[in-house]
């Protein structure tokens, strides 16, 4: 038999001795779940002539859209047919394949190394940690993809419009064990010699920098400092963004710790104080292999003999619920709080380069009548932010990274997200779902920007309409 894979699925042919009118069934398992039963039933005589005259039958399969996500998946094909009342079965070896574009923000202009390009093989944790395979190994410790249909509803129970999708797709974590690769620590880009940038390491990266790195490596990058490893990658191109730091880097480190035990030394970007504090709170006195802030590019690029790369978890707004909820629960349990507090929090963005709400001061004054306190999260430590959200009964804020702290809230806490109609990212709706929060959305109509930077739009909030939403929440407001 022969199978050929592409971005959309696979096709091939199988040789059968049962004749052209006895179809062969192919059972398709992806990530451990049965996805389809397909028939190889198109007779191809000229191929069969090369196989002792046996019948050759074609088959093809297009994977579902939610699997064409640019992530690594385990694929197992089993072929079955009946001949002379006996069932004949043959299974192909388990393989790792990638379908579709990488992430939802595809990059161009440089080669991307995907699992099948380097014959990556699935393995259990013990096999991967032995580093015995000549090929990269990928561990999927948390089971299959899960799809949850969760209609978006407002506080009155009506289905909300304006969400790109109401289906939460939770991807399993993948841990890639790579040998002899180059790493740009400040951006998390991983370069596999001769193949390009590793598929799980260039989300929202700087295309120019990646091209420059690849060109340099083609000319010979042997002068890069060597880290023997094993080391755990704890960096992405968006590491300065609080949301991506928590949902990609902290979640990846935590997931690795859950399955491997104490993590190996961490390859991190230059750390700000709150980032270092968050890692210490999560993993204690883990070792760091961290460049000095402002390091020259030449010292930032290193060669790593053995590197573990967690797949991005929250970066595209699709959350593997078990990993994320356990991360928040772990951090929440390490910070004390007043269990009797019932704080009402309004998140100010006055310290942000993208303030969003143009009448924020007016809105903050109106919310004070409802018992809300205005907080600037950038002025608080990581532990103080956890404590603040642990003590909240309702949180209001414009769409922005600070709302990721909602994961530290007690289940049942209300999250009210203020959003613009030209950027309806559902990530915090999904976050509220996997963390058990109650969610409400206030949307302001905002025209599209000519420069396409919809996430940078600023707008005025209709204060009375927002207060009307608050009055409908099942909370007691004393005016």
Buried b (16+ CB within 10 A) or exposed e, 325-345: bebbeebbeebebeeeeebbb
pLDDT of amino acid 48: 41
Strands 196-198 and 189-192: antiparallel
First and final CA of the chain: distance in angstroms?
A: 74
pLDDT of amino acid 274: 93
From 103, 137, 100, select the one nearest 237 (Cα to Cα): 103
pLDDT of amino acid 102: 55
* Ranges of the chain with pLDDT below 50: 46-51, 53, 103-107, 162, 164-165, 292, 317, 479
Distances (CA, A) of 350 to 237, 344, 359, 374, 430: 25, 18, 11, 11, 26
φ/ψ of residue 6, rounded to 5: -140, -170
φ/ψ of residue 137, rounded to 5: -115, 150
Query: Each residue of 106-131: pLDDT tens digit?
Result: 445 788 898 888 999 888 888 899 99
What domains can be seen in the chain, in order of their start residue?
2-98 (2.60.40), 112-147+168-320 (no CATH), 335-472 (3.40.50.360)
**Tokens read off for 309:** 């790369």
Q: Contact, 186 vs 295, CB < 8 A?
A: yes
pLDDT of amino acid 45: 55
pLDDT of amino acid 204: 75
E strand map for 185-283: 189-192, 196-198, 226-227, 231-233, 266-267
């Amino acid at each position: 038999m022969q199978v050929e894979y592409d971005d959309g699925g696979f096709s091939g042919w199988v040789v059968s001795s049962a004749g052209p009118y006895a179809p062969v069934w192919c059972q398709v398992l992806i990530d451990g779940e049965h996805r389809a039963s397909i028939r190889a039933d198109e007779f191809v005589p000229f191929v069969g002539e090369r196989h002792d005259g046996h019948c050759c039958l074609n088959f093809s399969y297009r994977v579902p859209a939610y699997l064409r996500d640019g992530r690594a998946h385990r694929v197992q094909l089993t072929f079955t047919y009946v001949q002379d009342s006996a069932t004949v079965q043959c299974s192909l070896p388990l393989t790792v394949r990638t379908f579709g574009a990488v992430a939802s923000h595809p990059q161009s202009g440089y080669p991307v190394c995907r699992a099948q390009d380097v014959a990556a093989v699935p393995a259990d944790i013990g096999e991967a940690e032995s580093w015995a395979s000549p090929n990269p190994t990928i561990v999927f410790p948390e089971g299959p993809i899960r799809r949850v249909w969760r209609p978006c509803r407002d506080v009155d129970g009506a289905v909300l419009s304006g969400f790109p999708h109401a289906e939460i797709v939770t991807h399993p974590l993948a841990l890639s064990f790579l040998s002899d690769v180059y790493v740009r620590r400040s951006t998390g880009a991983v370069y596999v010699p001769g193949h390009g940038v590793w598929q799980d390491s260039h989300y929202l990266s700087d295309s120019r920098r990646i091209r420059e790195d690849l060109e340099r490596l083609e000319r010979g990058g042997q002068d890069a400092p060597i880290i023997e490893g094993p080391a755990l990658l704890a960096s992405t191109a968006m590491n300065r963004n609080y949301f991506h730091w928590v949902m990609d880097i902290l979640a990846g480190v935590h997931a690795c710790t859950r399955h491997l035990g104490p993590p190996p030394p961490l390859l991190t970007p230059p750390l700000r104080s709150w980032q270092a504090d968050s890692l210490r709170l999560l993993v204690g006195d883990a070792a760091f292999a961290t460049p000095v802030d402002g390091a020259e590019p030449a010292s930032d690029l290193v060669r790593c003999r053995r590197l573990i790369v967690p797949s991005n978890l929250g970066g595209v707004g699709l959350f593997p619920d078990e990993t994320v909820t356990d991360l928040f629960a772990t951090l929440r349990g390490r910070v004390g709080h007043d269990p009797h507090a019932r704080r009402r929090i309004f998140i100010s963005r006055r310290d942000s380069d993208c303030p969003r709400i143009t009448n924020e001061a007016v809105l903050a004054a109106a919310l004070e009548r409802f018992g809300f306190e205005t907080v600037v999260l950038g002025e608080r430590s990581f532990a103080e932010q956890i404590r603040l959200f642990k003590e909240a009964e309702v949180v209001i804020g414009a769409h922005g990274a600070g709302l990721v702290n909602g994961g530290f809230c007690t289940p049942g806490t209300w999250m009210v997200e203020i959003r613009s109609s030209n950027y309806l990212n559902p990530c915090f709706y999904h976050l509220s779902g996997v963390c058990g929060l109650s969610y409400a959305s206030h949307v302001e109509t905002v025209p599209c920007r000519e420069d396409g930077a919809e996430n940078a739009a600023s707008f005025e909030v209709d204060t009375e309409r927002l207060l009307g939403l608050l009055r409908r929440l099942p909370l007691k407001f004393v005016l």
